[in-house]
Structure 1
Amino acid sequence: RTFNGHIRRWRVGKFVMDSFALTEISRVLAALALVLFAALISRWQAVNLERQMLIATARAFVQLIAIGFALDLIFAADHPAAILLIIGVMVAIAGHTSGTRAVGVPHARRVALSAISIGALLTLGLLVGLGIFQFTAQQTIPIAGMVIGNSMNVCTLVMRRIQDEIEARRAEIEAALALGATGRQALAPYLKIALQSGMTPIIDTTKTVGLIQLPGAMTGMILAGASPLEAVQLQIIVMYMLIGAAAFTGLAAAWLTQRQFITPNHQLRQPN
């Protein structure tokens, strides 16, 4: 018995590769053994994470199987409305998740949704507009998933760092405002710190790509039978894409977040 015991042809840009899912249920069960070992270690060391591990494992299985069936239908239809709907759902979930993590930021979910939407729209628009990828379901949806997932993490880091900096530097910010600085001027140094915090992970990953790890897109292509050089070309595009998405999203998140802490009269809002 197999999940998808057949090999499908799919195209990414000008690269053609053979893509296959795990062909034997036994292989999935074998991989599950690693999770069980991790749960046993957690129980042995009284870390108390085994329940969360097992729940996360079950959720990942169900979610990935479900999205696999859904993408089968969407790829077959390949309709622009379906593509946009899926992207919209991903952005909405990412915005909700990021906003939930940024506890203490006023209107955090709205800020996160707006910032991630801006980052995804600009990045995907440039990729399609420049002809790097075609606006098809098989190309746009996987790329959108990478862009939105990365943007979500950047947005969370930026929002939380701005909040932390404001809490730690409240007296300094209020002093700057009292001396006539605008809200943007008073918060500028801390927005810079937040942007650095948000973009550092993807920059560090880009610096070490190919040296410490083979990233997902490249690994997937190689496992699917593509030549390493073809896989490298796609991975380079992906890394550059993620840096751009991080910059767009981080800047939008910083700008929108600082607006939540400064009143129209250029005063620092009091914490709730």
Structure 2
Amino acid sequence: MEFSNSSFWLEFLQGMLKPVAATAVVAMALALSFVQRLGIEWEMVYAIARAFLQLSIIGFVLEFIFTQRNIAWIVLAYLFMVVVAGYTAGQRAKHVPHGNYIAGASILAGTSLTMLLLVVLNVFPFVPRYIIPVSGMMVGNAMTVTGVTMKKLREDLKIQKDLVEVALALGATPRQATVQQVKRSVIIALSPVLDNAKTVGLISLPGAMTGLIMGGASPLEAVQLQIVVMNMLIGASTVSSIMSTYLCWPAFFTKAYQLEYEVFNAD
């Protein structure tokens, strides 16, 4: 597609009329924030402006990638998402040493394995129009779950370090000494994903399903895709969450199987 074509730009500008008009609801939020003296008016303006800019740019990028037949573009787009997600999740668990790398590796493992299974089972064809949006959904959910898992695991170990040290003194390995804390952190991190799966369609219609229906697809087709999406989100998030706990152990313990106090004393 030629982006310099005048008809393309005219169509693009016409299509942006509705998004611009929708900013009226943001004006309402700004007014309420001002009246209630919340002091977040500029943060709202910054957030919506940044979202507008980011989505506009990514729209052009995806338009370009979708017209290419080179697999390398799919891989590059996927790796970019993983890197950004790893950094974001690592910031949530900023007191975990090398948290960015641990989160990135965990997200990569969970989402790539899930995507591989979906492609092998012919659920999705390996083309940009399917793989990139699907990867984005998986990476986004895995990012949230991984960040919460790492943060919660460190917090629980800090609170219950006496119990862990007793177990280590009795000859337990780090894995054996932290099994309860690991379970707790994984369960808490996965709870929102599982709760969403339990109530999907009853409280709200998910984004993928809503997008298909608004795009003209039948509700039954939309439901079929949404079932696939929920399954892949649970799979990718679970693998990423569990993987992050395994990768965190070297940061939490010394080579002599003792707690690394510097990690838990950091504020």
Q: Same fold (TM over 0.5)?
A: yes
Match of 1:216 in 2: 207
Contact 1:79–1:137 (Cα < 8 Å) also in 2: no
1:201 Cα deviation (Å)? Answer: 0.6
1: CA distance, partners of 2:107 / 2:134 = 14
1:43 Cα deviation (Å)? Answer: 2.0
1:173 to 161, 164, 178: 164
Deviations 1:64-103 (A, max 9, x none): 1111111111100131001100001010000011111112
Q: How does 1:244-259 map to 2 (within 5 A)?
A: 244-259=235-250
1:145 corresponds to 2:162: no
Match of 1:56 in 2: 47
Match of 1:201 in 2: 192
2: CA distance, partners of 1:23 / 1:126 = 40
2: CA distance, partners of 1:258 / 1:208 = 34
Unaligned residue ranges in structure 1 (runs of 5+): 7-20
Q: What is the total number of aligned residue pairs between the two structures? A: 258
Higher helix share: 2
1:30 Cα deviation (Å)? Answer: 2.4
2:227 to 218, 221, 236: 236
1:88 to 79, 87, 94: 79
1:134 corresponds to 2:102: no
1:245 Cα deviation (Å)? Answer: 0.7
1: CA distance, partners of 2:129 / 2:157 = 43
2: CA distance, partners of 1:192 / 1:60 = 36
1:112 corresponds to 2:112: no
Match of 1:67 in 2: 58
- What is the TM-score with the length of structure 1 in the denominator? 0.90
Deviations 1:168-214 (A, max 9, x none): 11111112112221111111100000110111111000000000000
1: CA distance, partners of 2:7 / 2:31 = 29
Query: Which amino acid is the alignment partner of residue 95 of structure 1?
Result: G
Identity in percent: 43
1: CA distance, partners of 2:154 / 2:253 = 12
Contact 1:3–1:24 (Cα < 8 Å) also in 2: no
Query: Which amino acid is the alignment partner of residue 128 of structure 2?
Result: A
- Secondary structure at the aligned position of 1:77 is classed as coil
- Secondary structure at the aligned position of 2:166 is classed as helix
